[in-house]
Each structure stands twice: as structure tokens, then as C-alpha cells.
Amino acid sequence: MDDFETATVTRSVDLDATPERVWDALVDDDQRSAWLGRRSRIDVRRGGPGKVTDDDGTVRHLAVEDVQPGRRLAWRWWPEQTGNCSTVEFVLEPVGPGTRLIVTERAAPGTTVAACRSAAGSGVSSALVCDRLTMLARVVGAAVVVV
Amino acid sequence: MTGDVGTMFGALADPTRRGVLEAVAMRGPLTATELAAELPVSRQAIVKHLQVLGHAGLVVGSRAGRQHRYQAVPAVLDDMRAWLDDAARRWDRSLERLRRHVDGEPSRPGDHASHVHESID
């Protein structure tokens, strides 16, 4: 469905593969590069950065927004060249032995490349801070509560 | 105009604003007063809607004497349509390649997504 009013494009495809197998194809860089554009690298965790190069050479930067293994992956991305920020959501549903994969891309209203970048930047840095605190906790053997 | 399709779509998310754009596109150039006379909205609200539409590049105003008249910019709707078409093409192509990938078939560049069906909700 392409919907002018809600600015969304939705596609669904039924795959002869388990949700686990499809999930791997979404999150593994080498596997993803076989089907999403020419090449992609994504740090698949909330706030993680990524970069996808399309077949036509268009480079999109992205920030991961949601990771629910085997069920849902969402990111926000924006082409390097234009200010067209959008969100992408993958939902995996088991259908018999296979998987229905539903993809929704939505133009993000009221956002600019700068806004996308800063949203991504803050997500990345807070993820890094969390990682560092977790590492520190391991080193000192203490529990860390991130507020 | 901003060149940002998110802002353009955002401007059209409001049904009243779509009504304002439609009136301007069908019968423009129109003034805010003329629009308020034909739509069930105050002139003040019309002016705000015109500002949002103008920010998104969907309408432009021009001064004629003491009046501001607004008209639609159809090319911006074409930009929005082009964005949707491009996204649809990208996902058709990618999902067909994904299908081949998980089915273990070699992907062939330039394949079209004959097996990908559109949801119809």
C-alpha cells in the first residue's frame, strides 16, 4: 500500500524461512548486503549507527530505533544528499513454518537532515555511555544503574 | 520551500489543511478571507494553515494591492509522489532479493519483484 495521506509505503512478503533465519538476514551485515542495496553496515542495537549504500550509489545514514530479536527492527535513515528523513520498520510474523515480513517506510514529518543527525548522534552517544558504564561495572564488579 | 518530503507530508496530515490546499489548487489564487468564506474554519485558522502549507512549499502567496493571494505549487505534490514511488520501487526490489537470499537462490541484479505482493489494508 502506498498511502499519500499517511506518507507510508508498506510491503509484505511471505518467506520460506523461519523468523530466526529471516532475522539473521536482517541483522547480519554480510547477509543484509546481499539484498538491501549494494552494501550495508549497521550496529544493530538501539541508537546504533549504520550506513546503507543503494544500488544507484545513494548513501543513507541511519540510527537504529528498536531491536526486538525475531520480531521487530526499526530505524530512521536519511540520504546523504537530500533532507528526506524517513523511518523504516520490519515486522516478522510466523506463518506456518515460514515468515511474513512486513516493511513500512514512512516519511518523517517536520524533520530535517540536521534533526535526523542530531537524533542519531544523541542515541549513539547514550548507547556508548551505557556500554562504557557496563564495562566499568564489569571491571569493578559493581552494579550500575543508568538513570 | 524546504525540499524535505517529511515536512510536506506533515503539512498534509491535517484534513482541514488538505481542504485548504484543495480549494487553493482548484480555485486559486485565493485570499484567506475568500477561503474562510467557503470553508468551515475561521480566517485566523486559515492563515495558520496557509503558513504551514507555505513552509512546506505547497502554496505560495503573492501580493496584489493590499491583498495576499495564495496558489498551489503542484510540483511539490509531484515530489511527494516521486518519494513514495521511489520507496515502493526500492522495497519491491530489496524484498525480492531477500526472498531469493533466504530461499538460497542466487540473486540477479535488475530482477523485479514479481513475487512480492502488496498488502491491501
Question: Whole-prediction pTM value?
Answer: 0.75
A105-128 pLDDT tens trace = 998 864 555 666 655 544 433 333
Whether B88 and A55 lie within 8 Å, measured CB to CB:
no
The amino acid present at B101, given as its one-letter code, is H
Q: Which residues contact B18 (CB under 8 A, 6 or more apart)?
A: A5, B12
Closest CB from A21, A25, A111 relative to B6: A111
B59-95 pLDDT tens trace = 999 998 888 999 999 888 888 889 999 999 999 999 9
The reported pLDDT for the residue numbered A127 is: 38
Q: Which residues contact B6 (CB under 8 A, 6 or more apart)?
A: A7, A83, A84, A85, A86, A107, A108, A109, A110, A111
Residue A140 has pLDDT above 90, yes or no: no
Angle between helices B15-27 and B43-55 (to 10 degrees): 80
Whether B81 and A4 lie within 8 Å, measured CB to CB:
yes
